[in-house]
């Protein structure tokens, strides 16, 4: 499994894709597809020719929680 560090405007993605799963291109971080499940976006990414997309779920609201990696 490859590990990527990405920088993108997650707030804009969260506003547009709240409640969805996203598949992103690992080289450009552009959205390939959005869907209701990880399986759905993985299959759609494969059909688009991207075998190892970055996937994430975008929750409806983070409230006061901000996700971040632990040191």
Give the pLDDT confidence of 6-21 residue by residue, as tens digits: 677 777 888 899 999 9
Residue 53 confidence (pLDDT) above 70: yes
Print the domain residue range for 37: 10-57
* Residue 67 belongs to a domain: no
What does the block give as tokens for 18? Answer: 């709240």
Among the listed residues 5, 14, 12, 11, the one whose alpha carbon sits nearest the alpha carbon of residue 58:
14
* Residue 22 belongs to a domain: yes
* Residue 63 belongs to a domain: no
Q: How many domains does the chain have?
A: 1
* Residue 68 belongs to a domain: no
Q: What is the pTM of this model?
A: 0.72
* Residue 62 belongs to a domain: no
Give the pLDDT confidence of 29-48 residue by residue, as tens digits: 899 999 999 999 999 999 99
């Amino acid at each position: 499994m490859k590990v990527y560090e990405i920088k993108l405007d997650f707030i804009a993605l969260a506003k547009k894709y709240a409640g969805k799963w996203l598949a992103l291109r690992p080289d450009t971080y552009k959205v390939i597809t959005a869907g209701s499940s990880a399986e759905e976006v993985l299959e759609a990414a494969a059909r688009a020719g991207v075998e190892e997309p970055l996937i994430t779920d975008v929750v409806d609201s983070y409230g006061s929680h901000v996700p971040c990696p632990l040191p």
